Amino acid sequence: MPVRVLVLRTAGTNCDLETLNAFQLAGAEAERLHAGALLSRARRLDEFHILAFPGGFSYGDDLGAGTVLANQLRARLREDLLRFIESGRLVIGICNGFQILVRLGVLPGLEGNDQTVSLVENASGLFEDRWVRLRVETSKSPFLERGEVLEMPVAHKEGRLVVRDRSLLEILRRNGQIACRYAGEGPEDGPEKGTVEGDPGYPANPNGSLEAIAGLINPAGNVFGLMPHPERHLRRLHHPNWTRWADGRARLLESDWRLGDGYRIFERAVKHAKNL
């Protein structure tokens, strides 16, 4: 049976086609669907194995990033979404999708799924559009492999993670729910340049997130949200420095679409879903 993926979109979503393509390349049967189809009950979440919230500006972010769609889902689809998650099926939220999952409270998924963290305006006050390095911090998520370093771009103005209570950070660390952190290029960009231990500082940490947190998972590990865009690094040719790599242009041009750092996230998700 094929793995069925729902890529949920609304007015303002603009990374749905790229996310759809990523899952299709990974071997899934992916479908773009407007949120209205779920809210009206014309379609059901339980038709799918993976739910993806892609990036963009859902409903124009008019009331804040991800706010309108999160409120719609909370009011009309909350129980269906919680059952989907509790069944062990996978959910990924990228950029605006991460903002939606945070506002819904399913990330980090503590205290009865109330909202305990937020993604607020970047410390720079700017829309940050740059490539970043991520260090994976958890071994609990089927999307990730602990210790790997991934490179992919960010494109957001509200990506600075803050917590309602600082004690929550210790809970997230203890639970292994800090999925990935922004990382510097080397020792010269290490913790000594950051504001807290482990933070490489700006611009490696593009938004000023607490402890350089770039992504979170829920306690079970099957819900993953991150601010960077893995769907924008599916092939090594997508990387701006590909011409400088030792294996040369010819080999890169001959390679397929499954060698970028971001592709591995989608590939792992599809492989995991096949075994559910």
Q: Which residues are catalytic?
A: 95, 229, 231
Of 225, 228, 194, 208, whose CA–CA distance to 162 is shortest? 208
CA distances in angstroms from 178 to 8, 169, 192, 260, 272, listed in the order given: 25, 9, 21, 23, 20
Of 127, 138, 159, whose CA–CA distance to 228 is shortest? 159
Do 198 and 212 touch, CB atoms closer than 8 A?
yes
Distance in angstroms (rounded) separating the CA atoms of residues 123 and 126: 8
Helix (H, G, I), strand (E, B) or coil at 56: strand
Do 228 and 181 touch, CB atoms closer than 8 A?
no
